[in-house]
Amino acid sequence: MKNITITIDVEEDCPPMLTSTKGMEEGLPKLLDLFKKEGIKATFFVTGMMAEKYPDLITRIPKEGHELGCHGYTHARFDRMETEEARIALKQAGKVLRQFEKKLVSFRAPNLQFPAKYLKLLEKEGFLYDSSLAAYKPPFPRSRVEGKIIRIPATITSSFLRLPPALFLPLLKQAKAPVLFVHPWEFVDMSALPIRPDCKFNTGEKALQNLKTLIHASKAENCPFLTMEERASLEKL
C-alpha cells in the first residue's frame, strides 16, 4: 500500500432500514476516540441532519484534525431526485456543515448513487472532490476528473472490514491506495435488529477490533493515512 484513506459515512443506523441513531450516540465517539489514540486522520462524510442533531460530536471532527465532508442533507438518494431537489439538498447540507468547517470540499452521495449530470451542482456549491463512485462494482471506475470535480472512488466496501482479518488483510495489502468506508452504526452491536444479514454480521466490538488491526497493519507498512482532500490533491499532480 502506498497510502490509505479511511472514510466514515455519518448517518442514521443502516438507512433506510432503520431510523434509530445508536451509531451516532455510541459508534461515532468510539471511532473518534480510536483515531485520536492512534494519531491518525480520516474523512467524515456527514449528513446535514446528523450535524444539526449532534453538533457537539460533529464539532470534534475538524477540531481533532479530520476532514469534514458532505453526505447530503438527509440520507435520500440523489438518483431519485429531480435537479431542483438535488440542488436544494446540497445547498442545505452545505449551509449546515460550513458552520462546523468553512472548508467543505469533499462529497459522497448516500448509497454511492450520484448521477454525473449533478456534478455541475457540486461545482456550484464549492465542492472539489467526489467519492460517490464504487470501484468494486461494474464498470469498476478509477479516479478521474469530470468537469472541475476530481472523482475518487471508494474501493473497499464497509462489510469487508467485518470479515476475519486473515481474509481482509492480504486483500488490503494488494491495494495500492485503498479508500475504505465504514459507518458509525457498524461499531454498535446490530445483531438483534431487523436488518439484512450482510449489514449486521460482526458489528460492534468485533468491527472495532478489526479496524484497530487494519490501522496497526497499515502503520507496520509505514503507510500514511490521508484524508480525501489530501488524497485527491495527489491525484491532481
Provide the binding-site residues for Zn ion, judged by CB under 5 A.
9, 11, 110
Least distance (Å) from Zn ion to the CB of residue 75? 6
Q: Based on CB atoms, which residue is closest to Zn ion, 118 or 223?
A: 118
Least distance (Å) from Zn ion to the CB of residue 138? 21
C-alpha cell read off for 69: 465532508
Least distance (Å) from Zn ion to the CB of residue 5? 16
Widest CA span in the chain: 48
Strand partners for 180: 6, 156
Angle between helices 28-38 and 205-220 (to 10 degrees): 20
The residue sitting closest to Zn ion, measured at its beta carbon, is 9
Q: Based on CB atoms, which residue is closest to Zn ion, 207 or 223?
A: 207
Least distance (Å) from Zn ion to the CB of residue 217? 26
Q: Based on CB atoms, which residue is closest to Zn ion, 168 or 181?
A: 181
Least distance (Å) from Zn ion to the CB of residue 168? 21
Q: Based on CB atoms, which residue is closest to Zn ion, 110 or 184?
A: 110
Q: Based on CB atoms, which residue is closest to Zn ion, 105 or 182?
A: 182
41/1 Cα distance (integer angstroms): 17
